[in-house]
A = this chain, B = another copy of it.
Amino acid sequence: MRENKYDNPVFFAKYAQMDRSRLGLKGAGEWQTLEPMLPDFAGRDVLDLGCGYGWHCAYAAEHGARSVLGLDISRKMLAVAREQHAAPVIEYRQAAMEEADFADGSFDVVLSSLAFHYVVDFGALVRKTARWLRPGGDFVFSCEHPVFTAEGSQDWYRDENGNILHFPVDNYYIEGERQAVFLGERVTKYHRTLTSYVGALLSNGFALTGLAEPQPPQEMVDTIPDMADELRRPMMLILAAKKQ
């Protein structure tokens, strides 16, 4: 069974308090970087892998998608999605993305927001995604940055007074499971190198069309405590690719 942390009531309640949960896309530090990297949605069939509350599904629907299928392993997340982000073209379905399968050429766009670092076998997922997409289809996803996942703790290295010294990188080339703490709970994540992320795309018939390490926008740096520290290390990676 895949880990389904988001159906843990304590974790789910904590996640609901995050800005990205309460405010949606505008509360997500990476949104200003991600939005211009998204493809045209008009008239296209869209799949969102790990759709969570459905913010990106709703965005695709609002931008003219013909159909949007949001998959998530968490029943609780999907309940929120169905309540807050319903639309005639959107279907939400409970499924682990690793176990999902579709006919070849089922979609024009595959999206995923901050879910792939929970996936053990990224290469297998990219192979399936390449098959599910029609030629010329777009694949855009964000994930945790390899710098952020390598060492495992996902925490700053601090001096004895608690001041941040730097962010630690270790075991970079040793891919696989990491036990991180997120919202005070232990969560299993998977580290892989940048080489693995980009290589899986290039070796499965995708052309890379964009790569970004999003920085929080200046207004967040100015108004949210500790946000300036996010200029000291990359936390997320966004990749955009086109099936050739």
Question: Which A residues are within 8 Å of any B CB, using their own CB?
Answer: 147, 151, 157, 165-174, 193-195, 198-199, 202, 207-213, 215, 231-234
A213 contact from B194, B208, B233, Cβ within 8 A = B194
The 10 closest A-B pairs by CB, nearest first: A166-B168, A166-B170, A198-B211, A173-B231, A208-B208, A167-B169, A195-B213, A169-B233, A170-B232, A172-B233
Q: Which of B151, B199, B234 contacts A193 (CB 8 A)?
A: B234
Which one of B166, B198, B209 lies within 8 Å of A169 (CB-CB)? B166
Closest to A241 in B: B208
Q: How far is the CA of A90 from the CA of B166 in the complex (A)?
A: 46
Known: A157-B157, A169-B147. A202 touches B210 (CB 8 A): yes
A165 to B174, CA, bound (A): 16
Does A193 lie within 8 Å of B213, measured CB to CB? yes
The 30 sampled A-B contact pairs (Cβ below 8 Å) are A147-B169, A157-B165, A165-B168, A166-B169, A166-B170, A167-B168, A167-B169, A169-B233, A170-B233, A171-B231, A171-B232, A172-B231, A172-B233, A172-B234, A173-B213, A173-B231, A173-B232, A193-B213, A193-B234, A195-B212, A195-B213, A198-B211, A199-B211, A199-B212, A202-B209, A202-B210, A202-B211, A207-B207, A207-B208, A208-B208
The number of times this chain is found in the oligomer is: 2
B194 touches A211 (CB 8 A): yes
Complex formed: what's the CA distance from A209 to B208 in Å?
9
Q: How far is the CA of A134 from the CA of B234 in the complex (A)?
A: 35
A46 to chain B, nearest CB (A): 24
Interchain CA distance A41-B207 in the complex, whole Å: 24
Most buried by B among A166, A199, A209, A232: A166
B170 touches A234 (CB 8 A): no
Residue of B nearest to A199 (CB): B211
| List of B residues within 8 angstroms of A212 by Cβ | 195, 199
A171 neighbours in B (Cβ, 8 Å): 231-232
Closest partner residue, chain B, to A230 (CB atom): B173
Give chain B residues whose Cβ lies under 8 Å from the Cβ of A209.
202
CA separation between A167 and B146, bound complex, in Å?
14
- Smallest CB-CB separation from A215: which chain B residue? B173
* C-alpha gap A173/B232 in the complex (Å): 6
* Distance of A45 from chain B, by nearest CB (Å): 26
Among residues of B, the one whose C-beta sits closest to the C-beta of A173 is B231
